[in-house]
Amino acid sequence: MCVLCKGAAETRNHLFYECSFTGQIWEHLTKGILGNSYTNVWSEIVTLISKCSREKNSLFCIRYALQASIHTIWRERNKIRHGEKPLPLSKLKKLIDKGVRNKLSLMRSKGLKGRETILQFWFETRLQIAIERME
């Protein structure tokens, strides 16, 4: 049984990101980037991150959001399984978003070629989500 939503068997596909709990995290991180291509189906996510047809900043942000969310979700799952108190969903979203922003800020400050605007791109995707929620 999934310890995060308590509503389904825990499988890879469920945990990443068909679960009602983790799906909200994935949507928060990637809906602004993926737009109409948004999905929470594992096999489709793997296809999305494997294609090089997306713009470089977009592809990097999706891949890094995937890595950061998998790591944080798995860590949270293990904490709960070992009897620790779960973090609220809003806290997990902020924690992962902050981790992504820190990585992108570091890349920008190091002056990595082709990544000068990556942090701005990430903020634009956050703004897009906020605008959609207001409509």
What is the per-residue pLDDT for 127?
A: 78
Domain ranges of the chain: 12-134
Report d(CA 119, CA 35) in Å as an integer: 18
Whether cis (ω within 30° of 0) applies to the bond prior to 38 is no
What is the per-residue pLDDT for 24?
A: 97
Q: How confident is residue 105, by pLDDT bands cut at 50, 70 and 90?
A: very high
Helix (H, G, I), strand (E, B) or coil at 117: coil
Q: Minimal CA–CA distance to 5: which of 43, 47, 46, 40? A: 40
Q: What is the pLDDT of residues 85-104, one digit of tens each?
A: 999 999 999 999 999 999 99
